[in-house]
């Protein structure tokens, strides 16, 4: 599967006043009407119960200069947002990474089993795009830049 270039996102939620997030490249558009997206999360992830219980989540599509943020959110450390610049989403109250290419705030639409992962489908409530930034791309186990 490493032959498909993907964008890098941080998926976040605010569950019981606890800010949680993880790095994901398993993000895609599903439908335009209604506007639906999806991401996948390993069933063994420390935040799985929070994402299952929460009715909202947000996606921050990372910019090319945010490699360190991607690496930071790929770890299993607690309090991941304590050292990161973020703001709280106006609609979902989920954390949004400052200077990301795009923010997508969603309400949970559906959840499916997918082998060792759960597939979360969200209905898009709000999107903010920052057109002046290049996206962070991942391909063949390396971060890449668009040229």
According to the model, what pLDDT value does residue 8 have?
93
Residue by residue, pLDDT tens for the chain (147 residues) are 567 788 899 999 999 989 999 999 889 999 999 999 999 999 999 999 999 999 999 999 999 999 999 999 999 888 899 999 999 999 999 999 999 999 999 999 999 999 999 999 999 999 999 878 899 998 888 888 777
According to the model, what pLDDT value does residue 109 have?
97
According to the model, what pLDDT value does residue 3 have?
74
According to the model, what pLDDT value does residue 82 have?
92
Instruction: Give the 3-state secondary structure of residue 117.
Output: strand
* Distance from C-alpha of 121 to C-alpha of 129, rounded to nearest angstrom: 20
Alpha-carbon distances, residue 125 vs 42, 114, 132 (angstroms): 25, 25, 23
CB atoms within 10 A of CB 115: 9
* Distance from C-alpha of 4 to C-alpha of 48, rounded to nearest angstrom: 26
According to the model, what pLDDT value does residue 76 have?
87
Alpha-carbon distances, residue 129 vs 34, 38, 61, 123 (angstroms): 19, 18, 9, 17
According to the model, what pLDDT value does residue 142 have?
86
Residues 6+ apart with CB under 8 A from 114: 40
- CATH architecture for segment(s) 6-144: Roll (2.30)
According to the model, what pLDDT value does residue 122 have?
98
């Amino acid at each position: 599967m490493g032959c498909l270039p993907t964008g890098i996102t941080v998926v976040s939620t605010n569950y019981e006043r606890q800010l949680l997030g993880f790095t994901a490249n398993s993000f895609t558009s599903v439908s335009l009407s209604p506007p639906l997206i999806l991401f996948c999360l390993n069933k063994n992830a420390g935040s799985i119960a929070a994402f299952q219980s929460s009715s909202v989540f947000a996606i921050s599509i990372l910019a090319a200069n945010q490699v360190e943020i991607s690496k930071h959110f790929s770890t299993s450390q607690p309090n991941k947002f304590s050292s990161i610049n973020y703001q709280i989403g106006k609609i979902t109250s989920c954390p949004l990474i400052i200077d990301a290419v795009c923010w997508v705030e969603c309400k949970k639409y559906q959840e499916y089993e997918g082998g060792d992962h759960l597939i979360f489908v969200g209905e898009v409530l709000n999107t903010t795009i920052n057109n002046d930034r290049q996206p962070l791309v991942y391909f063949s186990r390396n971060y890449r830049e668009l040229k």
